[in-house]
Structure 1
Amino acid sequence: MRKKLLTTLLFLLAASLFQGTAHAADAVVTDTGTTSWMLTSTALVLLMVPGLAMFYGGLVRTKNVIGTMMHSFAAMVIIGVLWPMVGYALSFGPGVLGGFIGWDSKYFMLQGIDDTIMSTQIPEYVFAMFQGKFAIITPALIAGAFAERVNFKGYAVFIALWSIFVYSPICHWVWAADGFLFNLGAMGAIDFAGGTVVHISSGITALVAALYLGKRRGYPKNVMQPNNLVMTLIGAGLLWVGWFGFNAGSAIASNLATARALTVTQMAAASGAFTWMVIEIFHHGKATSLGVASGILAGLVAITPAAGVVQPVGAFALGMLASIFCYSAILLKSKLGYDDSLDAFGVHGVGGIVGAIALVFFIRPSWMADAAAKTADHSWTMWQQLGVQATAVGVTVVYAAVISFILLFLVEKTIGLRISEDDEMSGLDHSMHGEHGYGLINLN
């Protein structure tokens, strides 16, 4: 009888302990609404990569359309492998080497996040995949600067190295909780969705690559007309749609911050396109489809760092400013004579810098009040935040330029990056891939 009673008590104790463990595990609950939005945002950002492929692919000559689109798809493949393997750990792992980079072996192949629900109540898998799409599209943007003249194997190696040695450190500095730019000043450098991490880093690298590799043969004497502006417009439309995931998804929530980011993204894109149209009408007497597409991108790039802190009037202003500065940069390119083929620097580099700096003048008062509350004397001024933003931009520009130049030099001297004259004249489609984009032969 005593044995039976003891057995019963032990069973009840074990059951209560198990129940307690179950309740403890249930304490971390997934927010299904936020998770659903983040899954959608992840898909929207990935949609931007084929959108970019169409945007760039329509702007080059017919003989280079497949080769150019392959640059975007190669980024999907190569960075799609590297990101879960080491990229996420390097970007969001605990700081090592004095905080220069992140790392934790448990993040290798994402093996340490199998059961992790983040403080935002989404599985860490979702966050890792969302951030991975940013890592994919950033090197793909660079390809616009040296379109029509690079070796595919060299390009593949370059973007793999660039992702590890340029993108991941900058991402860690700006977005990781222990990153030095994340903790600079009262509230850190403002980069809501990638003004510095994505656009300035890729834009500056694009400029360095264009200068290092030199002009396309025949540029600027020979007219190099886009082969398919219809495709470019469709690509621009896909980028606009995907950008809602890019910016609104960066709230890592489904709340007021998400609504704000989505709203200002729409307004900045429209403002940028409208401003570019007006400029072209006054400058050339007519608005062009390429101008509308460029204005859309300029507005979207400029609002990217600012989407979490500016009000609608700020979105309008940033879209206008971005179009003015990007349009001027493209005109200046023609005068200086360097060959940024598809204006990767002119739009992404310049637009990113405009957005990261000018956002300071349109920050909502509540954000500034929160920043002031975190300081010892309860004051934080717009000018102090301007200094923080300028520091983040300056660090990103210098680091991206120097390391990118080193990587370009190493790849060019080992594998080769600039293609031969014969290959360039026959086109990337034939020389690099043995294909023709439209099934047509001997088209320029």
Structure 2
Amino acid sequence: MGFVGKARSVLTLSGKAINEILSFIVFSFLDVLDVILCYVYKIADFFIEAEWKPCYCSPAKESITSSGKILVSEQSETKIVSLTSTKLQLEEISDTLYARPTVVSDVSRSTVKRLKLEGNVVQSFDKVNRGSVRSTFAINSTFVELLHGRIRGHPSRPIPRWSDCDCKTCNSWASSSKETLFVKADGARDNVQEDVLFIHGFISSSAFWTETLFPNFSKSAKSTYRLLAIDLLGFGRSPKPNDSLYTLREHLEMIEHSVIEPYKVKSFHIVAHSLGCILALALAVKYPGSVKSLTLLAPPYFPVPKGEQGTQYLMRKLAPRRVWPLIAFGASMACWYEHVSRTICFLVCKNHRIWNFLTKLITRNRIRTFLIEGFCCHTHNAAWHTLHNILCGTAGKVDEYLDIVRNRLKCNVTVFHGRDDELNPHGM
């Protein structure tokens, strides 16, 4: 046993070392590739759409105009500065959108620091050092341009971008007069005793519930409960506005306007998976007297150690920049690389009808492909902002939500979490 134990420990250490080396090489390459793709997409967007959308590679601008609300950040905290009478609430933007340290950025930063010490850099911060500038806020140019577009009254274009899918399923919302979430209602209709709201996870859809749970509920359950499964904003058949930042507020308001208000929901149960668990907790805190129970599947919970920046810590835990396990590799590409992830969406999501056809052809139509459809029916803009603003951006709020649910709410909470969950190994 001693020899076997030592051999196993040697193999484990060797595997970790190989994983570390390969990860460094692969992600160093991806760091460079993302920079190259940034310019490729700017050129492609300009020639195809006659404009390019601002990305988070842009450097921060140290100026505030008087024409709109500007998002600023200070020591990882996001703030909104209102500069007009128009109320445009865009709170809780995650700093991980524009602050993702990589090998390239670290090398660039160290180079600039060395040049400064040698006195070869323009003294652009003299005014700050002399105390002539009071503000220490960093203003991100991407938010400036996005917000300016909103304030100038540019409507959200229902036409999908060239790199997004243009099929009827993904864009069914564009033909509707109301911009509300897609809701699949089942169960009781006339004598509704209780409502159950189902919220899916990241890059998924209501089919996660309607194709698995709904057909297996008993007649008794369906005669008692009204089952409401939604496609979250930016996913499935729901609206996918190009100018949305997909913040927590936007997601919650869409659920309210699409489900709680039109269906006249007074009290309800919530069943949520993965990212949906965060929205479920937020809803429970907002409607403490209405939520009767919470059922959470694989909730993404990472306690933030003292002294750590919550958003950055959670991003490193969810996306550890490792090639193994493969699910962590996929999460890392989706979270760290704006343009690499857009390329993946272009290849996978835009062509999901091809993948769906090939899957049916290879399997001879023996398996259902609703998971593929749910995985692919979203835009890069929706997935990118939801990942950062909900999963990473709420790092400092989940503990507050849990305290409120535990101490103030009188509802049952049930958690199901896989013991071998590689992406999210921590349960609540």
TM-score under structure 2 normalisation?
Answer: 0.24
Q: Identify which of structures 1 and 2 has the higher relative contact order when contacts are C-alpha pairs closer than 8 Å and 6+ apart.
A: 1
The normalised TM-score by structure 1 is: 0.23
